């Protein structure tokens, strides 16, 4: 939530003093109309406390407001007991301050405290007309008291409205913060987790080969260490990029990994054999040649990346991995993504049933495929994952396109819905 005016603390103090001095002068002028020094002091004190309660900090509001309401009632009592009465006013500035105190009490305080402060302010508003000369009671009191009560009702309604508005803004802010946290968590899992998983898988491969009596040759070991070094460097770059976003939320660049097209999927699958079987990539030529909206291209990359990462982590015995990305140009154009592996754990998990629609069944932490489902949902797509009899583990995604896919040279701009900005 951004403030309406970004005023530094010094400027706020100057503004408070600039507004407070005229108000205090107006309250003192009304008190001087009584013709009594004692009453002038009492009126000024009551009006000053109530004006201060309107502008004081929240943690001090209760005490200052209660003192102001009590001072107002005492000033009214002293005025009615004395012979001196004001001729032209009963405390207009003080009445306005009481109404503002009522608004702020209803807006800020818990129900019981708000009721207590509002009741005190209403009492002070009701008896304040007794400061007038007795001769004015009969013509003015029947009209002034109902008018003040109506003003108090309006102040209460205003306070309730502001209270609900504050609650709505708080919930909206919390929702935005939670959305950002989930986005950062997805980015960390997708990029950093992917690289770290590669490091772990390559390290385990060296250990298992050595334990089995087939240690890698110096050349093979150097290649493995180079792969580990490359994965670690990529993880560090992704981490630095994420830290930059966290430290500067308005940073124009996000976590490393935005993609311009699907041709880069070849690079992703070519790097996978270092820690697993060689994936077979089938990529629809129309998607390579077409201008795919960036949000959809990024989602496709995330689906493939997370699926391959899960193969590393959970299907170590897999011998075949298939990545299929194609265009469904039917009545509702969409990009279809399918990643399949034949790992033994996939078949065991599948039992006799078909593919599961539960996107979190394979991973222990549940975060990866849940993140994929959330990403796909942001662009109107769906993700399903589960074992399929006779096939293995299958991750499938359907990501709708906003319209027909433009091709290079086509004058039509690629339509990108607002949801793709996420």
393 pLDDT higher than 80: yes
Better-predicted residue by pLDDT, 32 or 123: 123
The model's pTM is 0.52
Asked whether residue 214 is assigned to any structural domain, the reply reads: no
Do 421 and 280 belong together in one domain? Answer: yes
Residue 130 has pLDDT above 70, yes or no: yes
Asked if residue 305 is part of any domain, the answer here is yes
In a domain, 234, yes or no: no
Residue 332: count other Cβ atoms within 10 Å of its Cβ: 9
pLDDT of residue 157: 94
Establish if 158 belongs to a structural domain.
no
Q: Phi and psi dihedrals of 328, rounded to 5? A: -100, 100
Of the residues 113, 132, 151, the one at which a domain ends: 132
In a domain, 156, yes or no: no
Lookup result for tokens 């003080």: 94
Range ranked top by mean pLDDT from 25-29, 78-82, 118-122, 368-372? 118-122
Mean pLDDT (whole number) for 379-402: 85
* The total number of residues written for the chain in this structure: 422
Mean pLDDT of the 380-407 span:
82
Compute the distance between CA of residue 42 and CA of residue 74 in angstroms, rounded to an integer: 8
CATH number at residue 374: 3.30.565.10
**Is residue 78, in this structure, part of any structural domain at all?**
yes
DSSP collapsed to 3 states, 153-164: HHHHHHHHHHHH
Inside any domain, residue 285: yes
Is pLDDT above 60 for 2? no
Calpha distance 337→397 (Å, rounded): 5
Write the pLDDT tens digit of every residue in 61-81.
899 999 989 998 998 888 888
Distance separating alpha carbons of residues 76 and 125, to the nearest angstrom: 10
Predicted confidence (pLDDT) per residue in 257-306, tens digit:
444 457 778 877 877 766 567 788 888 888 876 677 767 887 888 888 88
111-125, 311-325, 383-397: segment of lowest average pLDDT: 311-325
pLDDT at 258: 43
pLDDT of 382 above 60: yes
CA dist 87 and 30 (Å) reads 10
**Predicted confidence (pLDDT) per residue in 73-110, tens digit:** 998 888 888 777 777 778 888 888 899 999 999 999 89
Whether residue 158 has pLDDT greater than 90: yes
The stretch 328-349 carries a mean pLDDT of 74
Q: 315, 341, 323: which is closest to 397 by C-alpha?
A: 323
Determine if residue 400 is left, alpha or beta; phi over 0 gives left, psi from -120 to 50 gives alpha, anything else beta: beta
Share of the chain above pLDDT 90, in %: 12
Q: Is residue 179 pLDDT above 60, yes or no?
A: yes
Name the domain count of the chain: 2
Give pLDDT, residue 103. 93
Long-range CB pairs of 39-43, under 8 A, 24+ apart, other chains included: 39/75, 39/78, 39/79, 39/82, 39/84, 42/71, 42/74, 42/75, 42/78, 42/79, 43/75, 43/79, 43/91, 43/94
pLDDT at 413 over 60: no
Choose between 365 and 322: higher pLDDT.
Answer: 322
Q: In terms of pLDDT, which residue wins out, 238 or 394?
A: 394
Say which range, 35-49, 221-235, 251-265, has the weakest mean pLDDT: 251-265
Under DSSP, the state recorded for 262 is: G
What's the chain's average pLDDT? 75
Indicate if the alpha-carbon torsion angle 233, 238, 239, 243 is positive or negative. Answer: positive
What 3-state class would DSSP assign to 109? Answer: coil
Which of 79, 99, 132 lies at the terminal end of a domain, its last residue? 132
Residue ending a domain, choose from 115, 132, 149: 132
User: Are 125 and 264 members of one domain?
Assistant: no
Query: Average pLDDT, stretch 186-190?
Result: 66
232 falls within a domain:
no
For residue 385, what are the β-bridge partners? Answer: 395
Mean per-residue pLDDT, 367-393: 81
- Among 178, 380, 183, CA closest to 293: 380
Residue with tokens 């001095």: 21
- Residue range(s) defining the domain that contains residue 54: 9-132
């Amino acid at each position: 939530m951004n403030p309406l005016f970004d005023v530094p603390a010094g400027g706020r103090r100057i503004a408070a003093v600039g507004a407070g001095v005229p108000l205090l002068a107006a309250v003192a002028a009304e008190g001087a109309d009584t013709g009594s020094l004692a009453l002038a002091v009492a009126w000024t004190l009551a009006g000053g406390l109530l004006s201060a309660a309107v502008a004081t900090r929240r943690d001090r509001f209760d005490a200052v407001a209660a003192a102001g309401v009590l001072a107002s009632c005492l000033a009214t009592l002293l005025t009615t007991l004395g012979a001196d009465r004001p001729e032209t006013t009963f405390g207009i500035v003080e009445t306005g301050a009481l109404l503002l105190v009522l608004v702020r009490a209803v807006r800020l305080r818990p129900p019981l405290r708000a009721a207590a402060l509002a009741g005190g302010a209403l009492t002070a508003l009701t008896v304040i007309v007794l400061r007038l000369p007795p001769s004015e009671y009969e013509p003015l009191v029947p009209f002034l008291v109902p008018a003040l009560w109506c003003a108090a009702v309006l102040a209460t309604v205003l306070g309730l409205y502001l209270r609900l508005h504050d609650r709505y803004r708080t919930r909206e802010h919390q929702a935005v913060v939670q959305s950002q946290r989930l986005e950062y968590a997805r980015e960390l899992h997708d990029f950093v987790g992917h690289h770290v998983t590669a490091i772990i898988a390559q390290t385990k491969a060296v250990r298992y080969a050595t334990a089995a009596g087939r240690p890698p040759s110096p050349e093979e070991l150097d290649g493995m260490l180079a792969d580990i070094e490359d994965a670690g460097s990529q993880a560090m770059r992704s981490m630095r990029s994420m830290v930059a976003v966290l430290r500067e939320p308005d940073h124009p660049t996000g976590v490393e990994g935005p993609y311009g097209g699907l041709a880069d999927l070849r690079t992703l699958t070519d790097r996978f054999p270092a820690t697993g079987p060689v994936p077979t990539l089938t990529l629809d030529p129309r998607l390579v040649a077409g201008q795919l909206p960036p949000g959809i291209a990024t989602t496709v990359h995330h689906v493939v990346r997370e699926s391959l990462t899960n193969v590393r982590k959970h299907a170590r015995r897999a011998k075949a991995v298939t990545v299929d990305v194609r265009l469904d140009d039917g009545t509702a154009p969409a990009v279809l993504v399918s990643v399949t592996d034949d790992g033994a754990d996939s078949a065991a998990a599948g039992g006799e049933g078909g593919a599961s629609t539960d996107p979190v069944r394979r991973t222990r932490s549940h975060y990866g495929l849940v993140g994929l489902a959330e990403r796909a949902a942001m662009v109107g797509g769906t993700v399903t994952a589960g074992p399929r009899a006779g096939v293995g583990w299958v991750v499938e995604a359907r990501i709708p396109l906003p319209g027909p896919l433009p091709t290079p040279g086509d004058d039509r701009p690629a339509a990108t819905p607002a949801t793709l900005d996420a």
